[in-house]
Amino acid sequence: MVTTSKKILDQLPYGKSFLFVDELLHLDENGAKGTYTYHEDLPFYEAHFKNAPITPAVILIETMAQIGLVCLGFFLIENTKTDQNISLAMTSNAIDFLKPVYPGEKVWVTSEKVYFRFNKLSCKVKMENALGEIVCKGNISGMLISKAHE
Distance CA 96, CA 57 (A): 10
Among 79, 87, 85, 88, CA closest to 123: 88
Whether 23 and 5 have beta carbons less than 8 Å apart is answered as yes
Catalytic residue among 26, 39, 48, 149: 48
Q: Name residue 65's amino acid.
A: A
Alpha carbon separation from 85 to 21, 31, 44, 99, 150 (Å, rounded): 22, 22, 32, 38, 10
- In the residue annotation, 39 being an active-site residue is answered as no
**Which residue numbers are catalytic?**
48
